[in-house]
């Protein structure tokens, strides 16, 4: 994977430049080469491809580490499922989450098992529904304006305060009573013992890792990747101004406010910090993801990567494991943006940036950062396939 030359006057530009080697950019690159034979240059400021889905193998434990937090592939979109299976097979992994509250472990999402364990009962589905409805108390039938009251209205005070209130407070670094109700439109409660986290048709993890999958997507001599290259650095030829002057089509997947020099203001994001802890034991939690619902634990959840891939046990260290504790906070410039905050003010600001983006010649904006949206991986791929067909392909035919 080459670095970029630094003399734009002698650069022979490709047919398409893609800024960002995440799933959106890789999908567009693959489609452009497959359908038009275009020559594509992908640049990324990071030292790896794959965006936030990038993973690597830990030498001590044999675990596949998801560098930017747990990434779990699931979809009910057949177009996406058929597409990704061209580049990887998937394990039969099914995601299940557990939560520690008050020294006890419960299954999530909240289901009949959670309810009966929490209340030390054996409610039937109908009895549990009646119980939860009655626990909304004085908030039943009202229109709560803050998250705290909305949560109580949706699932009753006891379950809300045990599993949602403090977890959400840690996520947002804000008292839920001061957060808008719109953040939590619904809280799923299952009145059966189904603790599958996702309800999609297909689910699994790439059999030989995320990075191998993505390397295969761009395994074509017409695609060149330049890592450690900053789109806004005018000392290298694949910069914003040079490409604009040369009329080269660009797919931009970086932060949309950064593209326009933050001239309308900064869009707000939450980010995540990780603290790595290593244990001299083969398995610490017995599951891949453990939420911590109580306020006295400063992190929101812990990820034990070995447990995502039990099929690799023979290749993993039976005496060591690695866990990442996850801490949530508001992002500042320079942080990795993870989740758009999406207040009304943020939505209004993005609408103004979106209008500017639509008017930008020869440029397609995509991905989480480019469109200020939270996407799961299958949604990124789906929007990239559509963007290629509707926006990028016409640019390549000019």
Catalytic residues: 186, 190, 270, 301, 326, 374, 376
Taking a C-beta distance cutoff of 8 angstroms, is the pair 217, 23 a contact? no
C-alpha 169/C-alpha 372 separation (Å) is 23
Sign of CA dihedral 48, 67, 220, 243: negative
Confirm if 394 and 363 have CB atoms less than 8 A apart. no
Tell how many helices (H) and how many strands (E) occur in the chain.
14, 16
**Residue pointed to by tokens 């998250």:** 147
Q: 77 forms bridges with which residues in the sheet?
A: none
Task: Copy the structure tokens of residue 2.
Answer: 């080459």
Cis check for the bond before 109: say yes or no (omega within 30 of 0). yes
Contacts of 398 (CB under 8 A, 6+ apart): none
Query: Element (H or E) spanning 203, and its range?
Result: strand 202-204
**Residue whose entry in the numeric block shows the structure tokens 């490409």:** 243
Measured in residues, the chain has a length of 398
Q: Tell me how far apart the alpha carbons of residues 150 and 146 are, in angstroms, rounded to a whole number.
A: 6
DSSP element (H, E) containing 339: strand 339-340
Q: DSSP readout, 267-328?
A: PPEEEEEEEEEEESSS-SSSSSEEEE-STTSSSSEEEEGGGG-GGGGGGS-TT-EEEEEEEE
Question: From CA 111, how far away is CA 191, in angstroms rounded?
Answer: 6
């Amino acid at each position: 994977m080459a670095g970029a030359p630094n003399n734009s006057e002698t650069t022979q530009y490709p047919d398409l430049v893609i800024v960002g080697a995440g799933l959106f950019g890789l999908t567009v690159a693959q489609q452009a080469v497959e359908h038009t034979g275009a020559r594509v240059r992908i640049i990324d400021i990071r030292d790896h491809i794959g965006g936030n889905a990038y993973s690597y193998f830990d030498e001590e434990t044999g675990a596949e580490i998801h560098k930017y937090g747990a990434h779990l592939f699931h979809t009910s979109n057949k177009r996406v499922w058929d597409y990704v299976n061209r580049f990887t097979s998937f394990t039969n992994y099914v995601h299940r989450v557990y939560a520690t509250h008050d020294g006890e472990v419960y299954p999530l999402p909240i289901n009949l098992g959670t309810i009966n364990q929490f209340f030390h009962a054996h409610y039937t589905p109908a009895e549990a529904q009646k119980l939860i409805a009655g626990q909304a108390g004085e908030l039943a039938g009202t229109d709560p304006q803050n998250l705290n009251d909305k949560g109580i209205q949706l699932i009753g005070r006891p379950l809300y305060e045990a599993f949602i209130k403090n977890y959400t407070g840690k996520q947002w670094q804000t008292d839920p009573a001061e957060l808008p109700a719109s953040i939590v439109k619904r809280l799923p409660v299952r009145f059966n013992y189904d603790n599958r986290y996702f309800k999609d048709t297909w689910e699994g993890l790439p059999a030989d890792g995320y990075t191998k999958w993505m390397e295969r997507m761009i395994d074509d001599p017409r695609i060149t990747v330049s890592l450690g290259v900053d789109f806004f650095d005018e000392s290298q030829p694949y910069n914003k101004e040079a490409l604009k002057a040369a009329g080269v089509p660009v797919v931009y997947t970086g932060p949309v406010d950064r593209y326009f020099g933050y001239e309308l203001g900064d869009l707000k994001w939450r980010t995540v910090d990780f603290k790595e802890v290593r244990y001299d034991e083969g398995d610490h939690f017995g599951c891949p993801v453990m939420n911590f619902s109580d306020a006295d634990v400063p992190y929101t959840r812990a990820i034990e990567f070995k447990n995502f891939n039990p099929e690799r046990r023979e290749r993993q260290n039976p005496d060591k494991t690695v866990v990442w504790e996850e801490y949530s906070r508001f992002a500042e410039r320079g942080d990795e943006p993870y989740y758009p905050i999406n207040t009304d003010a943020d939505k209004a600001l993005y609408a103004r940036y979106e209008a500017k983006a639509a008017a930008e010649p020869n440029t397609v904006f995509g991905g989480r950062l480019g469109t200020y949206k939270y996407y799961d991986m299958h949604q990124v791929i789906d929007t990239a396939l559509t963007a290629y067909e509707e926006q990028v392909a016409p640019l390549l035919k000019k």
